[in-house]
Amino acid sequence: MTEENLRSTPLAAVHERLSATFTDFAGWRMPVRYTSDLVEHHAVRTSAGIFDLSHMGEIRVAGSRAAAALDHALAGKLSAVGVGRAKYSLLLTSAGGVVDDLVVYHVSDNEYVIVANAANVEVDLTEVAARTASFDVSVTDESVDTALVAVQGPMAARIVLDALGAADTDLDLDEVRDLKYYRVLTGTWQGVDIMVARTGYTGEDGFELYVPAANAEELWDSLVTAGGEDLVPCGLACRDTLRLEAGMPLYGHELTTSTFPSQAGLGRVVNFAKEDDFVGRSALENRDASDDRVLVGLAGQGRRAARAGYEVKDGEASIGVVTSGVLSPTLEHPIAMAYVEPDRAEPGTVLQVDVRGRSLPMTVVPLPFYSRH
């Protein structure tokens, strides 16, 4: 896709003013970095970073049977999620593969907001609409009209509270401060609707704030003012290294329609205790997963990183493939996620990765590689 055909977020002018370097991501012209991948990565680990995530999709499902509809459409039990809570879930194929991984917010009685990966918004919308058609609910794509700005890092709470405190909002700042992980508040901010969630994709504390697209710059500027030198604009490059250190899967790498949840360590996300049927249930209940390759963490030495697509070997035998890899900015050694044969997945197992024709040893380690706790 040529650059002029790429979609831009409501914050495109901000990124231009900050002299961002752009990349094509899922058909969007997105900032990959502003200054340095390392500077931006370390800012999130030590102070805070601000991200434009407006390329993500927002799908609202509303109606008296919304909970039952989502129980059927998704792998998790959304009817058990209280108002003001969020749940990580999966949209599965009928064969049990992963169409997308999602965060679902229960924002009010009989009303949910699904946040979809940018590359999958159209597919997700079509699937959710089809799967919920018999439940008499409304399914609305609000992606174009919604901006998403994330503030992530140890100082995120202070920055978000300061920004909200300087604004005209009906949000209770004590409730924002005390908001637990995977919880969400809704209210008004500067006369428009806002959704404030304590969620993120970096392994750090943080917030994701949803406002109308027309108010994106005002929200961004208010957060930057509140953050001062403690807040650094961050692009997609550091978002990827942060999520990899935190052991979080990326759709198209660790998750695909050919991937079963149990392979990716996401078997817990599939709720077989649900009373009613859901798409993908019978396929997963009836298959033998004992020979499936499984997702593991790999840690190496030196400075050469294993990248997605690199072959994993045990001696001369090919036993897996790398899905994501990087020289970890925080840990200062190579890390990777890979699918390997189940009998070679035990932590402590030493395997080899073919890095541009050179065999480098990497050791199976538990995920995540990094945790703030």
DSSP string, 60-94: EEESTTHHHHHHHHSSS-GGGSPTTBEEEEEEE-T
Instruction: Give the integer Cα–Cα distance in Å for 149 and 96.
Output: 32
pLDDT in tens, 226-283: 999 999 999 999 999 999 999 999 999 999 999 999 999 999 999 999 999 999 999 9
CB 149 within 8 A of CB 50: yes
Residue type, 266: L
DSSP 242-264: HHHHTT---BTTTB-TT--GGGG
How far is Cα of residue 242 from the mean position of the Cα atoms in its chain?
A: 11
pLDDT in tens, 110-131: 999 999 999 999 999 999 999 9
**Complete domains list, the chain, with CATH:** 3-53+145-244 (3.30.1360.120), 57-130 (3.30.70.1400), 293-365 (2.40.30.110)
pLDDT in tens, 134-162: 999 999 999 999 999 999 999 999 999 99
pTM of this prediction?
Answer: 0.97
Q: Which two tokens stand for residue 151?
A: 């503030």
Contacts of 203 (CB under 8 A, 6+ apart): 242, 243, 245, 246, 247, 248, 368, 370, 371, 372
